[in-house]
Amino acid sequence: MAAVKKFNFKRMLAVIIAILFLFSAISLVVTKIVYDGMFVRYDCALTDFPEPLSAMLSARREKQFLSGENTLSGYLYDSPAENPHDTLVILAPGFRSCADSYLWQIKSLLDYGWSVFAFNPTGSCTSSGNSAVGFPQEICDVEATLKYVEMNDRFGYNNLVLFGHSLGGYAACCSLDFDYDLAAVISVSGINSAMEGVMGPSVRKVGPVAYGNYGFLWAYQAMLFGTKMLNLDASREISESRVPVLIVHGQNDREVPLDRYSIISHKAEITSENIEYIVCSDPGSSGHTDLLFGEDGMANERLMQQINSFLERI
């Protein structure tokens, strides 16, 4: 009788292990399908540009360089100002955006005397790649851009500044982990980490049950990027760096809420003395992307003035 009970226990244990293994395999497959669906390739065709931008666009120079196996396209804009600054601002776009999504902001920077290098990330617009891969991919793209700019003697500029929006804001801050001589970093509407960027919207949609898939999401991203890249955390990199950082966020940001999974939501943990914060609260210019724009559809000049003042102080 005891032998039967022992046999049944082993059988039950084997069934439980098989069920857990099957559940894990199915969960990982589902995670991959859902995750890959978030980062499908983004193609845009911005061809109808306003007349005030025509001179700027005709003067820019297109560059191509590698990020891993993919070829990225970038655009170099030299400031036409009478007395331009000796600084190149590298612009990292946000999620499902491209370099041309920020033309008005680029024009404003050029008018203030700052030159700009804006690039299209992996899997977007004129850059190659079957998908955007995931949040850490833009950190890889920023690093590839920095390498390319350095290889070309910074195109003649002495100072480099990283300026990123949303996903680009996260990537710009995480790039402080790399050994590059940066004059400053500006992050607008930035998420704090890759896991927060994925889990935050999921929890918002389905509640705490989303955490049941946390381990599978972490494991899949770790397979894609490695644990070091995945675990880069914007607030921690800011704290461990002496580079001046400007954090900009919208009071009414619904995509990356001010008090949840944004860089600014980790303000209490950031120990750097070289950090400044701007919270945009003006009606119509206090969300995730609209904080960059004014009512006329051009750059939010009030914000651009504040950014210019920050750059002049570094």
According to the model, what pLDDT value does residue 203 have?
A: 77
> Which CATH number belongs to the domain containing residue 102 in this structure?
3.40.50.1820
Of the candidate ranges 4-13, 134-143, 188-197, 300-309, the one whose mean pLDDT is the lowest: 4-13
* All residues at 6 or more sequence positions from 301 whose CB lies less than 8 Å from its CB, including other chains: 108, 294
pLDDT digits (tens, 9 = 90+) for 169-179: 999 999 999 98
- pLDDT (mean) for 192-196: 96
According to the model, what pLDDT value does residue 12 have?
A: 74
- In percent, the amount of the chain with pLDDT more than 90 equals 78
According to the model, what pLDDT value does residue 143 have?
A: 98
Whether residue 47 lies inside any domain: the answer is no
Whether residue 100 lies inside any domain: the answer is yes
Contacts by residues 209-213 (CB-CB < 8 Å, ≥ 24 positions apart) = 213/27, 213/31
User: pLDDT category, 34, cuts 50, 70, 90?
Assistant: confident
According to the model, what pLDDT value does residue 50 have?
A: 87
> Domain range for residue 246?
61-193+232-313
Of the candidate ranges 41-45, 161-165, 205-209, 249-253, the one whose mean pLDDT is the lowest: 205-209
Whether residue 24 lies inside any domain: the answer is no
Alpha-carbon gap, residue 235 to 268, rounded angstroms? 10
Is the pLDDT confidence value at 110 over 90? Answer: yes
Whether residue 286 lies inside any domain: the answer is yes
Contacts by residues 254-258 (CB-CB < 8 Å, ≥ 24 positions apart) = 254/287, 254/288, 255/166, 255/189, 255/201, 255/287, 255/288, 256/166, 256/189, 256/190, 256/191, 256/197, 256/200, 256/288, 257/200
According to the model, what pLDDT value does residue 209 have?
A: 65
* All residues at 6 or more sequence positions from 50 whose CB lies less than 8 Å from its CB, including other chains: none
Report residue 212 as tokens: 């049941």
Alpha-carbon gap, residue 27 to 29, rounded angstroms? 5
> Does residue 72 contact residue 127 with C-beta atoms inside 8 Å?
yes
Whether residue 204 lies inside any domain: the answer is no
pLDDT digits (tens, 9 = 90+) for 15-30: 677 666 665 666 666 6
Is the pLDDT confidence value at 46 over 60? Answer: yes
Q: What is the dihedral of CA 112, 267, 35, 231, to 10 degrees?
A: 100
Whether residue 271 lies inside any domain: the answer is yes
Report residue 221 as tokens: 């991203």
User: pLDDT category, 1, cuts 50, 70, 90?
Assistant: very low
According to the model, what pLDDT value does residue 39 have?
A: 93
Whether residue 290 lies inside any domain: the answer is yes
pLDDT digits (tens, 9 = 90+) for 223-278: 999 999 999 999 999 999 999 999 999 999 999 999 999 999 999 999 999 999 99
Average pLDDT value over all residues in the chain: 91
Report residue 313 as tokens: 């102080």
Whether residue 154 lies inside any domain: the answer is yes
Is the pLDDT confidence value at 14 over 90? Answer: no
If one counts the domains in the chain, the total is 1
